Chains A and B, each alone.
Chain A
């Protein structure tokens, strides 16, 4: 009754309320993105401003797609995200299940878990650069003091180890997002279906697989949606830890954009790359948001 009343009378109120939000987004995101799209079709170089008007069509994109380094960085970015997000989800789920089992000190544990969430990505990068430093880092110092190795392991110098170190930093930073949201899901879960399943003779795995997991999946999708909004913050970590090195072996899409745009001053080319990365991020967010909505409808049906 009241709801119908509200919609009929106040048609313009929501529009008015939303206008500031939409205007800001248009001004700071949509307009620059359009400009970026245009620039990606020009031969714009920062050092030669007049080149902004040299229209070259799709040349930047063609060059990009023919560029082997780009595809390598692209593939590495996808691989990096796949590994990092899966690890974060699995570890977060494990931690959430663990803490849900513990009956004492849960609040304190949850507070400790929030610790990595407040770190600036640039700080996380610095912190792990400090830890993984081959000469003075705590990790090598510990390994050497314990006699596990007699030489300094070049964590950030060797290409494979550097990628590993970056993934460790990324996972350290973001696992708690999953852990905290999944834990909230576990707390919100009704007890009755669990007990009913036990009475019916389900074992622990079956209960987990068919009751717990489906119930907490929406919470996992919230975490995925939140994460997908800022996957690109890995840029900060890589930038601090290796700067894309050694010899471009830890270069991700985002560090490549920064290098092409600002160091090489090839704005047209960089904008083409930026467009690819933007589309990637948007698809990613859209996918998880879609999943979240589907899970929400499913939950709504159950309740």
Chain B
């Protein structure tokens, strides 16, 4: 060991420089695709199409956003504003409902012992595993009989059930982390179980429940396979489905698509950053601690 001692600082410094370099390259790979799309959203289409390529943007413009929202001289015949409204309404409503159902279910798994507990939990997971496109076929047939095709409630019901298994999993994990003794103490002091839940356990699990909510929101916000088959018009089309409207046109409007991509990503970005810490904690503790 002593013989190696003089060589160590240099070796260590090289090692850490290497680590940083590698990390930097990896981060660039993770960020560049998304950032490139975002940058392109502020560039005029002719600059994107230019040959030879223009690397340093010469003109940044908000024109693409104005265009897809139907302002300004140039317009795109895609009702992005109403897609945005549909996406928001559908994602928020389904998230709230899924959270209520998930909280009830998660609490049951975390606090009670009952028959077929493991089986029911696995069952929920397996139902979630059915591929969206495979599920879309029978839902399409059933929904068209029920008159739910191309309606917001039609999609909301589906997204609630897509989100329930995962919210149950996450919320179960969060409730487990709260010692039972807290609510028991409250009950000894004269609270009912219901009061103990709202006064003690719910406030403690709140950030975790928010994380589960964001996860549910993102699932609904980003879903495409089912929405693309079950929506037809501005009554219910969501943003991801609307993005594909561009491909139906004669020439691909890359700048417009990039602008729409930015519209889709920004709410997701904000929400994830707000709860990222709790989201990771929820996924790991829910899964590992039995």
A residues near B (Cβ < 8 Å) are 2-3, 6-7, 10-11, 13-15, 17-18, 20-22, 24-25, 27-33, 35-36, 39, 95, 98-99, 101-102, 109-123, 126-128, 130-131, 135-136, 138, 141, 144-145, 172, 176, 180-181, 184-185, 188, 218-219, 221-222, 225-226, 228-229, 231-233, 235-236, 239-240, 254, 257-258, 261-262, 267, 270-271, 273-275, 277-278, 281-282, 284-286, 289, 292, 296-297, 299-300
Inter-chain contacts of B157 with A (CB < 8 A): 24, 27-28
Flag whether B130 is at the interface (Cβ < 8 A): yes
The answer, among B129, B142, B265, for a CB contact under 8 Å with A285, is B129
Does B284 contact A98, Cβ atoms closer than 8 Å? no
Whether B62 is near chain A, meaning CB under 8 Å from some CB there, is no
- Whether B137 contacts A270 by the Cβ 8 Å rule is yes
Chain B residues near A300 (CB, 8 Å)? 290
Complex A-B: 13 CB contacts under 8 Å: A14-B112, A17-B107, A20-B101, A32-B142, A33-B130, A112-B30, A172-B30, A229-B125, A232-B225, A275-B134, A281-B134, A282-B126, A285-B126
- Given A232-B131, A286-B122, decide whether A111 and B276 contact each other with a Cβ distance below 8 A: yes
Residues of A within 8 A of B257 (CB): 126, 130
Binding site for A on B (CB under 8 A): 19-20, 22-23, 26-27, 29-31, 33-34, 36-37, 40, 48-49, 51-53, 55, 100-102, 104-105, 107-108, 111-114, 120, 122-135, 137-139, 141-142, 157-158, 160-162, 164-166, 168, 180-181, 184, 193, 218, 221-225, 229, 240, 243-244, 254, 257-258, 261, 264-265, 268-269, 271-273, 276, 280-281, 283-284, 287-290
Q: Which residues of A contact B114 (CB under 8 A)?
A: 7, 11, 14-15
The secondary-structure label for the interface of chain A is helix
Shortest beta-carbon distance from B122 to chain A in Å: 6
**CA A113 to CA B33, docked complex, whole Å:** 13
By the criterion CB–CB under 8 Å, are B222 and A119 in contact? yes
B127 touches A29 (CB 8 A): yes
Determine if B113 and A218 form an interchain contact, defined as CB atoms under 8 angstroms apart. Answer: no
Cα distance A276–B101 when bound, in Å?
30
Q: Which of B19, B141, B290 contacts A296 (CB 8 A)?
A: B290
Q: Judging by beta carbons under 8 Å apart, are A130 and B108 in contact?
A: no
Contact B23 A233 (CB under 8 A): no
User: Once bound together, how far apart are the Cα atoms of A191 and B101, in whole Å?
Assistant: 40
Q: Are B161 and A24 in contact (CB under 8 A)?
A: yes
Closest to A35 in B: B138
List the A residue with the shortest CB-CB distance to B187. A2
Q: Contact check: which of A114, A136, A218, A239 meets B254 at CB < 8 Å? A: A136
Give Cα distance in the complex from A14 to B107, angstroms: 8
